[in-house]
Structure 1
């Protein structure tokens, strides 16, 4: 039967997901263009040269699309905060600082 399982990872924020989908589509088009250009070059077709030029342009666009995912993710994290869990050493250090503060307040 159907058993609902919790997701192991949280869902990406909408702007990051949109940028990621856009990057996947552009990279897929770039790879398709590169393979078509390769086969047209093998057949010595006149379309090979325009396809290679298009492939170069698409490579630049694909690089920017992948960088856009990274930039959008970093921007999202800076604006909306990053969920972080302090390490055990940081937790112990904060606990010691709180205890020292409490002791200081008791003395006064």
Structure 2
């Protein structure tokens, strides 16, 4: 029986599990797509390797073509894994890391901004009112 708090209760009214928020963010879409593609290719490669092994053990004619296709699939699977890594690097380079400045960095920036404003006010007070326009009187 589902309840609105996300848990499933048994007869004793204690939750079978409690859903917790995810600790890590989701992978970006291009990276996730490349990762899914790499996993599927790796799985097909492993299946091909098993077929090649069993055909070789049985002495079937299909053993040689299966071994050749397994070697080719291994190259493709390696390429797919490298594609995941390159796609992730490109995504991070283009979109950057989503980070928020720490309170220390924020405080230091605020202090520098206030110091610049104070220096501008002091300079403006020393120089007097500035003339608008460039015409000499």
Name the TM-score class by shorter chain: 0.7 to 0.9
The Cα shift of 1:102 comes to 6.0
Residues 1:28 and 2:43 aligned together: yes
User: What do you get for the CA RMSD once the two structures are aligned?
Assistant: 2.4
Residues 1:65 and 2:77 aligned together: no
Q: Distance in 2 between matches of 1:61 and 1:19?
A: 13
Taking the TM superposition and a 5 Å limit, the aligned residue runs for 1:21-100 are: 21-84=36-99, 95=108
Q: Distance in 1 between matches of 2:58 and 2:100?
A: 58
Pick the aligned partner of 1:5 from 20, 23, 29: 20
Pick the aligned partner of 1:15 from 27, 30, 34: 30
Describe the shift of the 1:104–1:80 C-alpha distance in structure 2 as closer, same or farther (beyond 3 A).
Answer: closer
The Cα shift of 1:8 comes to 1.1
The Cα shift of 1:6 comes to 1.4
Structure 1: state its 5+ residue gaps.
none
Higher relative contact order (Cα pairs below 8 Å, separated by 6+ residues) = 1
Which structure shows the bigger proportion of residues in helix conformation? Answer: 1
The Cα shift of 1:27 comes to 0.1
The Cα shift of 1:82 comes to 1.3
TM-score by length of 1: 0.78
**What do residues 52-81 of structure 1 show as CA deviations (whole Å, max 9, x unaligned)?**
000000000000000000000000000001
Q: Distance in 1 between matches of 2:80 and 2:71?
A: 14
